[in-house]
Amino acid sequence: MEDKQRELGGEEKEEEHAKVKIWKYVFGFVEIAVVKCAIELGIADAIESHGSPMTLLELSSALRCDPSPLYRIMRVLVHLKIFKEKPATQLGPKVYAQTPLSKRLLKSGQNSMAAFILLESSPVMLASWHGLSARIQGNIRNPVFEEVHGEDLWSFGAANPDHTKLFNEAMACDARVVVPAVIESCIEVFKGLDTIVDVGAGTGTALCLLVEACPWIRGINFDLPHVVSVAQEYDSIENVGGDMC
């Protein structure tokens, strides 16, 4: 009898939890929409170049936008703990300050993930996710990206330089985070190697970081011709365009 009551209590709790949690899915897109908006407005960049936390009016003036809608966006960003809100002085207005998370929304720099967020939240990339159930039901046979855009990701990139630019920048964000960690923990692996060929290397960020840390290595940066044509030039790296398939 006691067990039955405890079980019902648990079910009721689950029901209550579900009533609240379902709203997370109704408006689940809001978080990414607001973060994308923060990157596009350059909120983190404005605070960074100001050099200290900013009031709403300072921020709206720097971003040249209306303080009222900006305030609403800042409320969400503070709620998400992306920016911090703190009192400037005891009587002064509140100010918005950076956090380690907001610094990842900077448009450039070592830890920037802005391009990756803009890529994955772009209409081009999101369009594929809308076809997920059709792919699982077998109504779509090709990869969803191909079905939606009429060509695969790489051919689409060749015909859309803006998309390729964003894609390459997104990959570089990842390389700037991952490669230093690999070098730091596995430097032994690279000792004794003369040449490394990075196949599908993008614009060469990973190889640049690698040859900088291991100057005895010569790099070959291999990728599709339209990608290699905008790759970084680096003394000990040869950029080679081609098709690995």
Ligand X SMILES: C[S@@+](CC[C@H](N)C(=O)[O-])C[C@H]1O[C@@H](n2cnc3c(N)ncnc32)[C@H](O)[C@@H]1O
Give me the residues that bind ligand X (CB under 6 A), please. Answer: 154, 171-172, 174-175, 200-202, 205-206, 223-224, 227, 243-245
Whose Cβ is closer to ligand X: residue 211's or residue 224's?
Answer: 224
DSSP state of 232: P
Which residue number has the CB closest to ligand X? Answer: 200
Q: ∠ CA 80-83-88 to the nearest 5 degrees?
A: 135
Query: Considering the complex, what minimum distance in angstroms separates the CB of residue 114 from ligand X?
Result: 15
> Which residue lies nearer to ligand X by CB, 63 or 234?
234
CB contact burial 74-87 (16+ within 10 A = b; e otherwise): bebbbeeebbbeee
Packing angle between helix 43-50 and helix 56-63, nearest 10 degrees? 110
Smallest gap from Cβ 245 to ligand X, in A, equals 4
CA–CA distance, 116 with 170 (Å, rounded to integer): 4
Smaller CB distance to ligand X: residue 33 or 177?
Answer: 177
CB of 29 to ligand X, least distance (A): 25
Which CB sits closer to ligand X, 93 or 200?
200
Q: Which C-beta is closer to ligand X: that of 70 or that of 172?
A: 172
CA distance 141 to 149: 14
The secondary structure of residue 193, as a DSSP letter, is: -
* CB distance 129 to 74 below 8 Å: no
Residue 222 C-beta: closest distance to ligand X, Å: 6
**Nearest distance, CB of residue 166 and ligand X, angstroms:** 12
